[in-house]
Amino acid sequence: MIAVRIAAWSLAALIVILSVVPPGLRPETSAPHDLEHFIVFWTTGALFRLGYRLQSNLLAMLFVIFAGIVEMLQLLAPGRHARLSDFLVDALAMCLGLLLVSFVNQLRSRV
């Protein structure tokens, strides 16, 4: 459980750091921009759901707030910009990660 929490917080910190560094320092893959965002935010949402037993509604609200803060921080970073589309992809991805883990947990509890 502690390893999952460390992984979740590490990914969240990495998201913040990579969101505010100058664009030239941000690593890029050959994957589409939205897919990169989706994967890292989905994984972060799933890890937080695995690591914490908070109510899903509370976690979902926190995820939306986190995605919003990440985008707003970019307004303060030279060379970066906030995008509504990134916010929507990021918040949705975190919530979908949460939902999938919640669904799997419910299936396990029935067995």
What would the pLDDT profile of 50-106 be if each residue is shown by its tens digit? 999 889 999 999 999 999 999 999 999 988 989 999 999 999 999 999 999 999 999
Closest residue by Cα to residue 86 from 33, 10, 15, 21 = 33
The arithmetic mean of pLDDT across residues 1-25, rounded, is: 94
How far apart (Å, rounded) are the C-alpha atoms in residues 99 and 68?
A: 19
DSSP letter (8 states) at residue 78? T
Q: How far apart are CA 12 and CA 51, in angstroms?
A: 13
Given a cut of 90, is residue 27 above it in pLDDT?
no
CA dist., res. 11 & res. 84, Å (int):
21
> Whole-prediction pTM value?
0.93
* Domain layout of the chain by residue ranges: 2-23+30-110
Provide the pLDDT for residue 53. 87
pLDDT band for position 25 (cuts 50, 70, 90): confident
